[in-house]
Amino acid sequence: MPDNIPASRKFIYSFLIVAIFFGGLELALRAYDFQFYFNFSADLLGMPLLDLCKFRRVANQTVNFDPQVFWKFKPNQILDAKGIYKKPVRINNFGFRGKDFQLEKKPGTYRIICLGDSVTFGWSVADEETYPAQLEKILQEKYPDRDIEVLNLGVTGYTSFQGKKLFLTFAEKLKPDLVIFGFGQNDRLPALKSDQELFETKAWRKNKLDLFLSHSQVYKILKAGVIYLQRRQEGLSLDPTTYLPRLKRKVSQEEYQDNFKRIKEECDQLGCKLILLNVDFPSLAIDPANSALKSLEQKHNAHLLKNWQEWDSLKLIQKISTESGAKLLDLRSVFASYLVELEEGKGDQKRKSEFDQALGEDVKNEPWKYLMIDNGHPNEWGHQIIAESLANLIEAEAFFNQHKEK
């Protein structure tokens, strides 16, 4: 610029050039719609190292970040983002799935709380198709003279650590008569930091400036670059030999037991019963993460931590059930038994025929597809099987007969 231009005008010109450049870059990124929406910390996902070169889409406009439970849905909204939700999801007045409810329980009401992850939440099924919604309908039909309420407090991605924090926040106010505990798949995922460590380091405590800037694609790229460089300085890369020795579970088996124990203690104080779900299905290996990581070990001559152990969900939950006295429902065996019944000509054969026509050889080769959307999430039929099994267990244990007004 000529020397006779005032310094103030030079500053304005420079500012405009920078603003036009970054504004144009922002518009270009938004127009192209890159499939990354940086999730604020890069090590918060179950497999955090994917964030070194890939960025997961996180619909952050639908959630609030919370230092206790990490994230929770904003109340009173409909989730219908294409590519994420196959069916619209209604988030109620307290930020959970389903109809609105009041914290204070009406006199005479039998209140059931379902704690869990995306299975309980009902990933890719309609509001009325989730097992908590179907369970309420079944119980109301079985016991028309009772006022029965089933609340779905399942949140996608939650672990038992988050479920514990959530329950301890709401339990005394909600005064449940029965709690259904359904965690496991997210707990056993590998991570660089456990949920307990994330909680202690306040990784989910986000300031307002960070949240505001996170709406910018340019900011996400810049922050991702900074975190990438930090990971490289820590000796981490996509080379398995750098990260396998540092991996742990999001929640260890010991922590899982402690989380359940704390919920059980709270239930005992409130005088409510507890059902423990083994959230596992015939479509999954006993420990999918363990199998994948062991293959990496052999292929790259890398080594997991010495105390790394296979996570046998049923074995662990049977131990917890025996020690705590909580009733157990094993979804893997429930689904496996029903698939055998279908093969023998029992069960809902009309629905089976519809699946046969729609899926053909796929469902014959992998019969779990009758009951599952994918290998980790039940479809509407699968949720119906869970709801019916829970209703039968509740009836068999005569929980209603033991009900005392609180």
**How many independent structural domains does the chain possess?**
1
> pLDDT above 70 covers what percent of the chain?
90
d(CA 242, CA 224): 19
28 in a domain, yes or no?
no
- H helices of 194-305, where? 195-200, 208-213, 217-233, 240-243, 253-270, 288-300
Determine the pLDDT at residue 173.
93
Cβ contact 403:107 at 8 Å = no
Q: Between these two residues, 206 and 124, which has the higher pLDDT value?
A: 124
> Is the pTM higher than 0.75?
yes
Residue 313: enclosing H or E segment and its boundaries?
Answer: helix 313-324
d(CA 40, CA 158): 17
* Mean pLDDT on 329-348: 97
pLDDT in tens, 246-283: 889 999 999 999 999 999 999 999 999 999 999 999 99
Determine the pLDDT at residue 256.
98
405 in a domain, yes or no?
no
Determine the pLDDT at residue 60.
52
- Which of the residue ranges 103-112, 137-146, 216-225, 326-335 would you say has the lowest mean pLDDT? 216-225
pLDDT in tens, 10-46: 788 788 888 898 888 888 877 765 444 333 333 333 3
Determine the pLDDT at residue 405.
56
12 in a domain, yes or no?
no
Determine the pLDDT at residue 47.
32
Residue 187, domain CATH: 3.40.50.1110
* Mean pLDDT on 174-191: 94
Domain that holds residue 252: 48-396
* Mean pLDDT on 5-12: 79
Q: Between these two residues, 98 and 63, which has the higher pLDDT value?
A: 98
Q: How confident is the model at residue 3 (pLDDT cuts 50, 70, 90)?
A: low
Determine the pLDDT at residue 50.
34
pLDDT higher than threshold 50 for residue 291: yes
41 in a domain, yes or no?
no
7 in a domain, yes or no?
no
pLDDT higher than threshold 80 for residue 403: no
Q: Output the CA torsion 259→263→266→272 (10° steps).
A: -160
Q: What are phi and psi of 307, to 5 degrees?
A: -90, 10
The most confident of 27-31, 183-187, 216-220, by mean pLDDT: 183-187
* Mean pLDDT on 75-90: 87
Q: How confident is the model at residue 226 (pLDDT cuts 50, 70, 90)?
A: confident
Question: Mean pLDDT across the chain, nearest whole number?
Answer: 87
Determine the pLDDT at residue 2.
57
373 in a domain, yes or no?
yes
pLDDT higher than threshold 50 for residue 171: yes
Determine the pLDDT at residue 55.
35
32 in a domain, yes or no?
no
Helix (H, G, I), strand (E, B) or coil at 265: helix
pLDDT higher than threshold 80 for residue 81: no
Determine the pLDDT at residue 406.
53
Cross-strand partners of 350: none
11 in a domain, yes or no?
no
